[in-house]
Structures are given as structure tokens and as C-alpha cells.
Structure 1
Amino acid sequence: MHEATRYILDHADELRAEADPSDELGRITDRTVEILRASGGMKLLQAKDFGGHEAHPNDFMEWVMAVGMNHPSAGWIAGVVGIHPWEIAIADPRLQKEIYGDDPETWVASPYAPFGRAKPVDGGFLFTGQWPYSTGTDHSDWVILGGLVTDADGKPLMPPDVRHFILPREDYDIVEDSWNVMGLAGTGSKDVRMTDAFVPDFRVLDGVHVRDNTYSDRWRPENPLYAMRFGVMFPFAISAGTFGIARGAVRAAWDHIEARVSSQGSVSKADPFVLAALARAESDVEASIIHVQSIIARFYDTVAAGGDITVKDRLRFRVDQVRATDRAIEAVNELYRLMGSSSIQKGSPLERYWRDLQVASTHVCNSREPCYVAWGLDAFGGDIPPSAQY
């Protein structure tokens, strides 16, 4: 077990106590941030030459899940914000120094949806747009934003030229009161926006080259961690956040079942239907986790030996990743149907875990059908749709 995960487990009770206050604030509490920073987990995928651990991806997954099972919103931030050091590590070293040179603990938020418009100017771009879902943005000093390069008149180029633009906190505004949701309220995934912010060339990454390992090969050659492919690592991080919530949901059900007596006098811990549902849920959640971890371990061994993660590998990973995540979510939903009306009361851990899990399920990286279709089309010689994330 990595020391970052051990730290979280040692502070699990304190982390759980911060979950409700974080929801009420609409962002994680300062104490939650202190615990996450002290664990060192945000640096697990960060390059060693900028203060990180360069740990195995599955060490990162275990840390994210340990956070999420105790504090779902914090676990979601751990997965989303914690994956960004992986991309920063394959960027221009000038950018890495700007972000981590003075403070290796710096957090970077995102959203990647290409809502921005970037007009080329001398030395870079003028960047304008507004993006929802900037998870953990209140505690982040930088942000990665998706955008389309335009012509001089501001019209997006065709075919679309998608880039990742990385900006410091002083270059964008956080839109307060823009995160009003039924679950994962503590993530504070607010909108961010700016108008004509100048972004120098070295803070801009070509989306295609991020995915095809052009940057990894240039800046981190022969490093297995950074050869793992963006199209694998980012969905993997979202699954880690989702699995942490699912584990917490099963644990909350255990505690509920231990004490519950129904209105008909049935003792839940002796009810065969409840026990069967609990067994299925725990087994399916853990099997789903192992399923994803085993693929990641195999991929890591492949790239460490000098091999590559092919397009077919990545398409199959996405099928398995979304199916594993969906299986865990479905198992929890079936279990919670048997938890009784007390489980829907606000203040019940069951109610919060269920809401948070439903919101986690809506993330694009947990969307099933596009992955199934892309894999099937490729398997039968068809064209992979542009919408496929791999």
C-alpha cells in the first residue's frame, strides 16, 4: 500500500466528518484540502523532477478510492484533479516549471470540453469562453480548458483543431453559484470564464498529440507511466472516483443493515433477500475494481517492456471500463432498493452516497453506448466515430 493511501485510511474518520459540511459549502472544506495535501496523493502521477512520485497508476486508483469511500466529493476531486499532473508531465518543461517550480503541491482544475475559441496571435492565442464543471476549482491555481482554434474572424477551423489551453488563476474568473446539483455538491464544479486571455504557445497542447503520445515521446521518452495514453488514463481516473463512492455506498449499507428493523419487524441482517443483495453488491463492486486494475497493470507492463497500447487495446479498455463502472453502479442501486424508507432521509449516509453515485454515473467517461458502438464498428471493419474517446 502506498503511503498516500495509508495516510487517508489513518484519517478516514476525520475525512468522513467533512463530507456533509463540504456539501453545504458547495466545495470541499479547508480541512479536507489539508488532509488531501498531507497525504501526498495529488502528486502520485506527477513527475519526479517536479516533486512528484511517478507512482504506478493502480497506486493512484487505490488512493482515489480510499478518499471517495469516506468523502465522495473529495474522492471525485482526487480523481479529476489528481490525473492532471500526468498531462502536465508531458507538456513543455517551461509550463511544468511555471506550475510546480515554486510549489509542487499546486492543483490544476479542468474541463476539457472544447467550448473555448482561440484566435491565433503573435506568440500564442487570445482565448475566450465559458465552461461548466470545473471540479475543485476553488482550490486550484491553474486550469486546463478545451478549445477550438479559429481563423482571424473567430470562425472555428475545419476540420476542428482541438487544443488544451492551460491558464493561471489570474487569467480566468470563477462563476459563483453555478454549481447547483443533486449530488457531488462538495466538488464545487463551478463554471469558469474569460475573454481574450492571452495564452502563450508553450501553454497549449494539441489534443491529437496528447492522445497519440507525441508529447510523451518527446518530453518523457521510455517512461512507462507517461506512455500509458491519455485515452486510458483519464477514463481510468473517473472510474476510480466512481468506484470509491460505490465502495462507500456498500459500507454504508452494511452499517444500515446491522441496525435496521423494518416496520413489519423484519431484522435486516437476517433477511435472506437483503443479504443476497448485499453479497451481490459487494462482489460486483470489488470485481469491477479488479477488472479495471488488471487491465491497467497489463498495459503498464506492456509499455514498460517497450510495447504500445494499440487502438484496439484502447477501444476494448473503454468497453471494459464503462461496463465495470456500470456494473458497480447497478449493483448498488439494486441493493438500495431494499434499504427501506429510512434510507431516503436527508442526513442518512445511504441517501448521500446514492445521490453522489448517480451524478458520477453521468460523466462522459462513464457513458456506455458510445464506447460499445466504437468498439463494435472497429471490430467489424467500420469507421470509428469522431465522438469516441480512446
Structure 2
Amino acid sequence: MSDVLEAVEAAAEEIRAQGPINEKLGRLSDDAAKAVRGAGMIRMLQSRDHSGLECHPREFAEAVMRLASLDGSAGWVAGVVGVHPWEMSMADPRVQQEVWGSDPDTWIASPYAPMGVLRPVDGGYVFNGRWQFSSGTDHCDWIFLGGLLGDETGKPVQPIRSMHVILPRSDYTIVEDSWDVAGLRGTGSKDVVVSDAFVPDYRVIAFDRLIDGTLPKEAGLTNPTYHVPFSCMFPLGITSAVIGMAEGALAHHLAYQRDRVQITGTKVRDDPYVLPVISEAAAEIQASRVSLVDNACRMYDAVAAGREVSFHERAVGRRTQVQAAWRAVRAVDEIVVRSGGNAMRMDNPIQRFWRDVHVGLSHAIHVPGAVFHASALTQLGIEPPEGPLRSMI
């Protein structure tokens, strides 16, 4: 067990207790954020040059899953925000120093969706845009934002060039009351707005250099973790959180069902129609965990051996991630509908985990269509064309 996972276990009861509080606040409570920070979750993928732990992706996934099994929102924020130090470790040393120089525990928000445009000016760019879904943003002092490279008039250049833009908290506005949703309410995934912010050129990362593996090589990073493809690492925290929530739902379901008597007078422990479903659901959730971790380990082992991960392997890896999330959520649905009406009361954690896994499944990385299409083509020996079929791989 990693030191971080041990720290999460030590704080388990405190983290679990913060779940309803996070949901009521619409963000992680200060106590929940303190527990996540204290466990070292957000430094797991951070470079040692800035007091990071440079953990194996497996360790990161396992810690996120455990945290999410205690509280879905805390696990989600740790999974999303926890990936950002991985990319920041590849960024220009000047911005790394700005972010971590005085405090290596500084958190970085996102999102990466290219909802802004960079207009070139002397020394950098002027940036504008509005983004949704900035998870954990209230506890972050910097942010990664997706943008498109523009021309002098502010119109995106052709062909499209996606960029990741790094800004301090002073350069963007968090839109309060912009996160009112059915699940993962405690993540505080609010909108952010940027208006005419000047961005020095060293705070901008070309997305294609991250995707093709150029960035970690140029940064001189030797730990294989930094050479695992972005399409594996970025979804890892999100999918791990969903599977962890499924494990949390199962744990609460088992605790609730142990002594429950159904309206028919039959104890659940004696019901031959419910027990097999519980067992099957548990097996499906376990299979989701195993496949996700195995996929990350395979990617890590490939780059550790000095081998480039092919597009086919990346596509199959994304298929594995997406299917793992869907499999786990389907299993949760099977047990929730057999938990009885009282499981839907707001003081029963089962309903919160049920809502959380479905909102987590709705993230763009879990949409199966293009991913499954592309992976099937590669299995047929056909190279998918540039465009949507390759965008999430």
C-alpha cells in the first residue's frame, strides 16, 4: 500500500463525514480539501523537482478509487486536479516556479475544452473565453484552460491548433452559482471566464506536442509515468473516480441490506433473487477496477521498456477505460433498484453515490461512440482518419 493510500485510510472517517457537507456547499468543504491535501493526493504525479512523489499511475488510480469510495466529490476532485501536476511537470520551468516555487501544494484547475481563443501579441497572447466544469476550482490558485490559436483578428487559424493555457487566479473569474446539478454537487465544477488576459508565451503548451509525446522528452523527464500517453493519463483520474464511487455504492448497499427485511417479510440475506445480483454486481465492479489498472500498467510497462505506444494500443486502451466506467455504473444500477425505496431518502448515502456515478459517466471521456468506432477500425487494420475519431485518443 502506498503512503498516500495509507493516509487516505487514516482519514477515511473524516472524509466520509464530509460527503453530505460537500454536497450542501456545492464544493469541497475546507476540511475535505485539507484532508485530500494532507494525504498527498495532488502531489502523486508531481515531479520531484517540486516536492512531488512521481508515483506509478497504478498507485494514483488506486488512491483515487479509495477516496471516491468514501465520497464521490472528493474522489472526483482528486482525480481531476491530481492529473494537472503531471502536465505541469512538463511545462516551461518558469511557469513551474511561478506555480510551485513558494508552495508545492498549490492546486491547478482546468478544463481543457478549447472554449477560448489566443490572439498573438508581442511576447505572448491575449486570451478570452468562458469554460464550464472547472472541478475543485475554489481550492485552486492556477488553471489549465483549453484554447485555440488565433490570428491577429482573434479568429481561430486553420487548420485548428489546440493549446493548453496556464493562468493564475488573478486572470480569471469563477462564476458563482454556476454549478447546480443532480450529482457530484460537492465538486464545485463551476464556470470560469477570462477577459483580455495577457498570457506570456512560456505559459502556453501546444496540445499536439503533448499528445505525440514530444513534451516530456524535451523536458528531460526520465520517469516512465510522464511518457504514458495523455489519452491514458488524463482519463485515468476521472474513470478511477467513477469506479471508486461504484465501490462506495456497493459498500453502502451491503451494509444497508445486511439486516434489511423487505415488505414481503423476507430478509434480503434469504432472498434467492437478490443475492445473485449483488454478487454479479460486485464482480462487475471488481472487473472494472482490474481492467482499468491493468491498462495503465500496460502503458507504463511499454514506455518503461522504451517502446512507443501505437495508436491502435491507445485506441484499445481508451475502449478499456470507457467500458470499465459503463460496466461499473450498470452494476450500481442493478443493486440500487434492489435497495428499496428507503435507499432514495436523502439521508441514505446510496442515493448520493448513485447520482454521482451517473454524472461522472456523463463526462466527455466516457462517451463510447467515437472511441469504440476508432478502436474497431484499428482492430481491422484500418487507420482512422484525422478528426473526431482520433480526438479523444
TM-score bucket of the superposed structures, by smaller chain: over 0.9
What is aligned with 1:130?
A: 130
What is the CA-CA distance between 1:385 and the residue it aligns to?
4.8
Deviations 1:257-313 (A, max 9, x none): 113111111211221222111111111111111111112112212211211211111
- 2-structure distance, mates of 1:318, 1:36: 27
What is aligned with 1:370?
A: 370
Deviations 1:316-366 (A, max 9, x none): 101111111111111111111111111111111111010001100101111
**Mapped pair 1:21 → 2:21:** yes
What is aligned with 1:282?
A: 282
What is aligned with 1:328?
A: 328
What is aligned with 1:260?
A: 260
What is aligned with 2:177?
A: 177
- 1-structure distance, mates of 2:22, 2:108: 19
What is the CA-CA distance between 1:382 and the residue it aligns to?
4.6
- Which AA in structure 2 matches 1:273? Y
What is aligned with 1:386?
A: 387
- Which AA in structure 2 matches 1:335? I
Deviations 1:36-80 (A, max 9, x none): 111111101000011100011111111111110001100000100
Alpha carbons 2:167, 2:199 under 8 Å: kept: yes
Secondary structure of the residue aligned to 1:64 is: helix
Aligned pair in 2 of structure 1 residues 385, 331: CA closer, same or farther (>3 Å)? farther
- 1-structure distance, mates of 2:295, 2:379: 19
What is the CA-CA distance between 1:208 and the residue it aligns to?
0.6
What is aligned with 2:215?
A: 215
What is the CA-CA distance between 1:377 and the residue it aligns to?
2.7
Secondary structure of the residue aligned to 1:119 is: strand
- 2-structure distance, mates of 1:385, 1:373: 13
Secondary structure of the residue aligned to 1:197 is: strand
- Which AA in structure 2 matches 1:5? L
The unaligned stretches of length 5 or more in structure 1 are: none
- Which AA in structure 2 matches 1:52? G
Alpha carbons 2:90, 2:221 under 8 Å: kept: no
- Which AA in structure 1 matches 2:384? D
- Which AA in structure 2 matches 1:184? L
What is aligned with 1:190?
A: 190
Deviations 1:174-219 (A, max 9, x none): 0000000000000000000011101111110001111111111100
What is aligned with 1:106?
A: 106
- 2-structure distance, mates of 1:169, 1:351: 35
Alpha carbons 1:15, 1:70 under 8 Å: kept: yes
- 2-structure distance, mates of 1:296, 1:102: 32
Q: CA RMSD in A?
A: 1.1
What is the CA-CA distance between 1:222 and the residue it aligns to?
3.4
What is aligned with 1:38?
A: 38
- 2-structure distance, mates of 1:249, 1:385: 39
Alpha carbons 2:54, 2:223 under 8 Å: kept: no
- 2-structure distance, mates of 1:76, 1:313: 26
Equivalent pairs counted in the alignment come to 390
What is aligned with 1:145?
A: 145
What is aligned with 2:205?
A: 205
What is aligned with 1:80?
A: 80
- 2-structure distance, mates of 1:382, 1:61: 30
What is the CA-CA distance between 1:228 and the residue it aligns to?
0.4
Alpha carbons 1:378, 1:384 under 8 Å: kept: no
Alpha carbons 1:136, 1:188 under 8 Å: kept: yes
- 1-structure distance, mates of 2:334, 2:37: 35
- Which AA in structure 1 matches 2:67? V
The unaligned stretches of length 5 or more in structure 2 are: none
Aligned pair in 2 of structure 1 residues 320, 249: CA closer, same or farther (>3 Å)? same
What is aligned with 2:234?
A: 234
- 1-structure distance, mates of 2:385, 2:14: 46
What is the CA-CA distance between 1:379 and the residue it aligns to?
3.3
- 2-structure distance, mates of 1:206, 1:242: 29
- Which AA in structure 1 matches 2:333? N
What is aligned with 2:314?
A: 314
Q: TM (normalized to structure 2)?
A: 0.97
- 1-structure distance, mates of 2:293, 2:65: 12
- 1-structure distance, mates of 2:386, 2:364: 15
Secondary structure of the residue aligned to 1:259 is: coil
- 2-structure distance, mates of 1:259, 1:10: 28
- 2-structure distance, mates of 1:199, 1:167: 7
- 2-structure distance, mates of 1:273, 1:121: 67
What is the CA-CA distance between 1:34 and the residue it aligns to?
1.1
Q: Percent identity?
A: 41
What is aligned with 2:301?
A: 301
